[in-house]
Chain A
Amino acid sequence: KAGVTQTPRYLIKTRGQQVTLSCSPISGHRSVSWYQQTPGQGLQFLFEYFSETQRNKGNFPGRFSGRQFSNSRSEMNVSTLELGDSALYLCASSLVITKLYGYTFGSGTRLTVV
């Protein structure tokens, strides 16, 4: 079966712009989480969606937002980009919100802000 698909794979944006990243989970998976990965910081939790509702949110500024659609696809948006937003953004899906079967991660979107 198809894995978690993230688009685009790479993005280069200018400070002040906004960006939208997309994630299509494994078919049947209803929970989608987003993480920011930077060298030395590991995976920083952004938010988690289940059945179109945001269930958890990390400690990121309001410039970071997301949503989930009825088909479980999810998008995250970053407005007013800053240089420090440069990172690999990973999306992870799970069958249910309890995560008992673990996450399946996508390959990520590499965002570079210049």
Chain B
Amino acid sequence: QQPVQSPQAVILREGEDAVINCSSSKALYSVHWYRQKHGEAPVFLMILLKGGEQKGHEKISASFNEKKQQSSLYLTASQLSYSGTYFCGTETQGGSEKLVFGKGTKLTVNP
């Protein structure tokens, strides 16, 4: 079951904040976040595990609401380098479960 991401696209000015949501109709074990810049490979940002703490580094952080089966990615004081498409990937079980990605959220940061 593919997770649903929202919004599909967002345009920001440098310094503004953004939140990207990822929700699933199934109980989740983990949520992964990746960023893909145009013409490049997706790059791993972070993983959130069921029962784990909110993760983050610098100005990009994420949370995992187990009751709602939803994760949110927070980008604060956005920089031009944050532009790209953000994908969440979900696992419904631990171990060797496949990772299923959402359709992505395109983030554009303008000067």
- Chain A interface residues (CB < 8 Å from chain B): 4, 33, 35, 40-45, 48, 50, 55-56, 58, 90, 92, 97-108
Contact = CB atoms under 8 A, between A and B. Distances in A.
Contacts of A55: 96, 98
Contacts of B49: 100
B94 A102 contact: no
24 contacts: A4-B41, A42-B2, A42-B87, A43-B42, A43-B89, A43-B104, A45-B98, A45-B100, A55-B96, A56-B97, A58-B98, A90-B41, A98-B96, A99-B32, A99-B47, A99-B91, A100-B49, A101-B47, A102-B44, A102-B46, A103-B32, A103-B34, A103-B99, A108-B41
B44 A103 contact: yes
Given A42-B101, A43-B101, A106-B41, A56 B96 contact: yes
B103 to A, nearest CB: 4
Given A42-B102, A45-B101, A105 B95 contact: no
B44 to A, nearest CB: 3
B87 to A, nearest CB: 6
Nearest to A55: B96
